[in-house]
Structures are given as structure tokens and as C-alpha cells.
Structure 1
């Protein structure tokens, strides 16, 4: 039997009382007025920075802050009441903080409920259900009224039990954060290692051919059409290219294929270059033969594969050698343009095909390691988060006093 089980058996063997929030804390709104932001002064919190109340670049003047009747203080719980309703943060520093109406401030009666227990209870499955019942889902945006927050019920075990639950959940959260930091550091190190070896492998000390792209490639602009939510063919756009030159799985748009757009179909291994805007220069290696047409702000690069392989060029397009040239060649006036007259002047080191193949094998292996970590990192964090939520909900699920007594009475009648 755990320490918590022993405490529950000793201190509340017949269950605990479920109470309304307005009976254990005072509830306040943030300002309803549109803030007059300043470059410095008192930090201004809203839904966007609920995870870290003080990580904001928004400020209001100290004079405006003086008008606040309620000012956050250590131990208060800030809760989102618009959009993702019910996300909580405990105020943990003695620093002036202004807040918008999108947040509610809950000031707990600390002799009845601990601040962090209040946060965990609101975010538990019971708290979320209680909030959902009172949330105005048809409102734009979705929100919960201040008075309805007070009607939400939470379990209220003795303070000693609250402390033990908070201690357990804080430790678990700390371990999750620690694991997340370790995994992120591992991914960052592997990416740095990959970048180092990629640039090393693509820097040749012996004499090899250095060819401008115009000597080994043909270029063609993409198809003009309006992207749709549905269709029979994916419509590849600049925004579909991830930072690492892979295709983003999310946010796909489509078109209906016709005789004209068929000319712009791509196949596995094709190279598509972003030619305009902030993402200019990124090159996509088409991953498979799924039906896809490339849009007009992309350039298809058709290489002479008797001299250079598509995969080798794709790795080169992510190297420092490539980006140093791209930054010099791109037109800087207005929106940045990296059209064929610039792209064709990019100079590419072209070793023999067998050397290209060996380089590709090494870099593909590094790419796979980084990709696996990229997939595994959020998956591992998500698994830990689900595990945390499971234990949190277990720890915050109590038999309600009246229901427990009734159940035992019914059981007694059944036995007789």
C-alpha cells in the first residue's frame, strides 16, 4: 500500500467532499479594455503565454496597471477561459503582472486548497468535464463565463493529502521535462553532427569538376491553379517544403487533374525548388509516386543523371556551400526572388557518380537517424504526457462522501 493510500484510509475513509470552486477561491477577470501596449513597463499576460506568464513581449504602463483592482500575487492560479479552456499556471514570483480577460484569476483560500492542487484538479479529467459542461461552445471564440467557472466542482481532500498528490505530480512533471530536455539535446547534437559531416563530405580537396547548374540541368516553372481542400491530386506549394527539404505531411491541398495539369505531375526523386519569398532556395526531394502536381512558385530541376544524381544534389542543396551562393544570387528588392537566371549560376561540385553514391549512402544514414529522432522525440514526449495524465486523473479521482455512504448502505441491505 502506498503512502497516499494509507493517508486516504486514515484521513478520509468514507470519501471526500466535492465542492464548487467559488466556495474555496475568489475568481476574477482580467481587463476587458484593449491594452495600450508600451515598449516596457508591466508585463502583460494572455492565453498565448499561459505556459510561462512572464515570457511575454507585451507591456502596459505602470500608470495603467495602477487602475487594476486585482493584481496577481504568489499562489494565485491563472486559467484560460477562451479557446483552450482550463489550462492553468500558478503565479510563482512577486512581480507585477497585468492580464487580459482571456484569463481568469483564481485566488485560493489556502487553508482549504493548495494552489498547485487547484491547478491539477482543474486540469484533471473531472475538472475538464466540469468545464466542458459550462463552456459556450457556439461562441466565437469558445469561452466560459466567469460566474460559470465558480460552479465547477473539484474533490477536496484534506490538506495533507493535497500536499502528497502535488508532491507526486510535481516529481513526475519534473522527470518528464528532464527526459524531454535530454531527447531534445540528443536530436540537436545529431543534427549538428549530420550538418558537419555533410559539409565535410561535400568539400573536396582534390581537383573535381565544379559546374554551374545551367550546364547540368533544365528548369521548368510549375502549374497555376487554386488550391482546394479536396481533389484527386496533391498540389505541391512552397509551404509544403519543410526546413530539412522533406515534404510536410500536414496541410496538404489538392486540385482536380486535367489534361493541362498532367504535364506538371511529379514522380519519386524529382527535385522542386522554392523560388520566392522567405523560403526561397529550399529544395524538395519528392518522396514517392503519389499523384502530385507542383505549383507555379516552384521550379522543377531536371538534372543530367549521367553526370549527377538527384539525391546527391538534394544533399548539396542543404549544405553551407549552396546557401552561401543562394544568399548572394537571390534578388533582394521587394519580395526575394530566386528564379532560373539566379539558380542556373549556382556552382556544384560534381565528383564521379560512384563517389556521389558513397556520399549519398553516408548522408542518407545520418538523415535517417535524425528523422527517427524527430519522429521518436514527440512520440516519446506524447507517451510520457499520456502517462502523466493517467496518473494525475487516478490520483485526483476520489469517492464522493455521500455516494460512498449510500453505496455501503445499499450493499448492507443486499447482504441482509
Structure 2
């Protein structure tokens, strides 16, 4: 019998009390502020995203604090902090002597999807404190909470170590990628429009997805589902939706030209399937006569980044007009050299990004283990109240 099982058997064999979050934790809304109203510093400002919005020189929370993002695409995102922070477009949750903040954090991660499901609003979704304050949480004795936290933290620490190693590998990969894609004057620079035809994607939306039919790529999936290249699609559309679509052929590059940030805009995927594939709006379909992977790697490079930010426009939504991509100058070595470079970078890309092998596969496996044990360890029957 494990230590946790012994504790449960001794301290709460018939179940535990469940309470609403607002009854057993300290829940507080953030304080509205902008870069203009705060002084720049090193304290993270927590708002609607998964990363700090910016940094300032003051804080309104310290110690162990859980934050839930208030608005935007990441509204409802749960994070844990153990340092001074400034909670802005978000709200915070803190524990006390009867329920630890770290225990609450693991439990909220276990119901992350339920929190996301409370989003309200059309253009900019929001998650309000009133939407989750009535969620119930099991409250086992503190000794049980501590043992659960110890077990779950051991999984997250290992995942963090692997993620740090992967981050280091990715920095190596980016360095070698940019080194290989820098050329001297012996390699001609040509306008993308001279070697490619660039057309806008079609008009189908996610609501047009079908279980089978015409293979399709939605621009949002380029950010979340696809890597450098693919031979298969995740979704399909029917013939009626296909009629209002544009199509990519084998070796075409599909580029997403709408994003929430300038770093991600223009992310692309090479279509290597034999069958033509329907492409959604907010994309550019690049039909060319070069090595497709070489071009796709170049579109990820620091050199291309400098060019695309000149074309990017918008504030909350960043866009690049497909037609303007034609004017970007890119180096075009011989096809043989393109293939050699693409081959080298393909191997690096597999190590860093392929979820089926290497570090990404190991991280994915550890995350699945953590989620399995988290769900198992945080499941408690409700204690029967004595009459």
C-alpha cells in the first residue's frame, strides 16, 4: 500500500468534503492597467494570454497565486506563480491553511476544459470570475493534499526538464537553419513573385467540416495541427463547400496570413499529398517551381521574419496581404543545393518537432502520464453528512 493510500485510509476512508471555490479560496479580480499607466520593470503583468502581456515595476499579488486569463483566445487559461505578479485582465485564486494553492492548481488543470467552456462573447471571448466561483473542489486533509502535490509535481518537474532540453535543441536548430539559409553574393536574390504564383485561399469555415469527402486545410490548423509538411489532412468538407474553395496541389505551400501575433503570421505547411486539397480563407497558396521544403524552411527563418514584419498590419489581429508577399526577395541557390539544405534541416526538424519520436514524443508521454495520475488522484467520493 502506498503512502497516499495509507493516508486516505486513515484520514478520509469514507470520502471528503466538497466546497464551492468561492467558499474555500480567496478569489480576486485583477486591476485594469496598460503599459502607459504602469512603469516598465521586471514584474510580469498577467492578462489574457498564456505569456505575460508586458513587465512593470509594481505588483498586486505575491506568494503562491493561481491566475486565470480573463479574455482573448486563451481566456480561461490556468497558471501558477510563486513570485510577485501584477494581475491585470485576469483573476486570481489563493489557498489557505485548509487547502493549498498548489493542490488547487492541479485540480483546476484537471478541469481546464470545463473552465474554457465558460467562455462568453463573440469577437473577444471572456471568462468571468462569476462563471467558475461555484465550481466545487474536493478538500481532503492537508496531509493528503501534500502527498498528492508531491506525486504530481514529480511528473511536472520531469516534463519541465525535458521541455528545457527541447528548448535548447530548438535554439540550436534555429541557429543552424539561419546559418544554412544565409548566402553570399554568388546566390541570386529574386522576388517571390518571379518564381511563384500566389493566390488567396477559399471561403469554407470550420462549420463546413465533414467526416469524409474532400480533404481540406483550415488556416487555424496550420498553427495548431500541422508541422512543416503533410500528406494527409485532419478534416474534410463536402462537395457544396468545396465549390467555394481554392485548391492546393502537391508541393504547393499553404501559408496562414492571419494570426494573433506577428511571430506566428505566415506560418506555412507544404502539401505533399497526391490529391488536390481544399484551402480555407486567411491563407496564401504558393504555387512554385522550387524545392518546397527549402522555401518552407526559409519562411521560418530570421531573414524572412524581417521582411514579413514590414508587411504585417493590424493590432489585435495581425494580417499580411497575400499579394504583397510577391515582392519579398529570397535567395535561390541551385535545386541540388536546395535539396541538400532541406535534407539537413528536415532531420533537425524531426528531432525538435516530430511528436512521434525524439524529445517531443517523450514529453507527450510524460504529459499523458501526469494527466492520468492527476485525474486518478484527484477523484474523491463526497463524504456523507452525519444526520
TM interval, short-chain normalised: 0.5 to 0.7
Partners of 1:24 and 1:113 within 8 A in 2:
no
Kindly tell me: are residues 28 and 251 of structure 1, through their superposed partners in 2, closer, same or farther at Cα, counting changes over 3 Å? same
Query: Residue 289 of structure 1 aligns to a residue in which SS?
Result: coil
Q: Deviations over 1:29-49 (max 9, x none)?
A: 315x75465241796854535
User: In structure 2, what is the equivalent of residue 364 of structure 1?
Assistant: 343
Q: Which has the higher strand share?
A: 2
Of 135, 139, 143, 1:155 maps to: 139
Answering whether residue 79 of structure 2 is matched by residue 57 of structure 1, we say: no
DSSP 3-state at the match of 1:268: coil
Q: Tell me, what secondary structure is at the counterpart of 1:105?
A: strand
Q: Deviations over 1:77-134 (max 9, x none)?
A: 44457775483525x23x463444x4143342x1x22222232234446xx79x77xx
In 2, the alpha carbon distance for the partners of 1:148 and 1:317 equals: 43
> 2:78: which partner in 1?
87
**1:18 matched residue in structure 2:** 17
Q: Label 1:151 to 1:228 Cα distance change in 2 as closer, same or farther (>3 A).
A: closer
For residue 14 of structure 1, give the secondary structure of its aligned residue in structure 2.
Answer: coil
TM superposition shift of 1:282:
8.9
- Counterparts of 2:339 and 2:26, CA distance in 1: 61
How do 1:3-152 residues align onto structure 2 when only pairs under 5 Å count?
Answer: 3-9=3-9, 11-12=10-11, 14-21=13-20, 25-31=24-30, 34-35=32-33, 37-40=36-39, 45-48=45-48, 55-57=52-54, 72-79=61-68, 85=76, 87-90=78-81, 92-93=82-83, 95=84, 97-100=86-89, 102-108=90-96, 110=97, 112-124=98-110, 137=118, 139-140=120-121, 141=125, 143=127, 146=130, 149=133, 152=136
What TM-score comes out, normalization by structure 2 length?
Answer: 0.62
> Which residue pairs with 1:290 in the alignment?
275
- C-alpha change, 1:192 and 1:160, in structure 2 (3 Å) is same
Displacement of 1:170 in angstroms is 1.9
Give the SS at the match of 2:54: coil
1:146, distance to aligned residue in structure 2 (A): 4.1
CA contact (8 A) 1:266 1:289 kept: no
- Structure 2: how far apart are the matches of 1:272 and 1:371? 20
Cα separation, 1, equivalents of 2:178 and 2:348: 13
Which one of 127, 139, 164 corresponds to residue 181 of structure 1? 164
Deviations 1:192-214 (A, max 9, x none): 44554x459x779xxx9x67869
d(CA) in 2 for partners of 1:168, 1:144 = 31
The 8 Å contact of residues 72 and 105 in structure 1, kept in 2 or not, is answered as no
Residue 292 to residue 45, structure 1, CA distance change in 2 (3 Å): same
RMSD: 5.6
Structure number, greater radius of gyration: 1
* Distance (whole Å) between structure 2 residues aligned to residue 366 and residue 339 of structure 1: 23
1:6 deviation in Å?
3.0
Structure 1 residues 226 and 46, CA gap change in structure 2 (3 angstroms): same
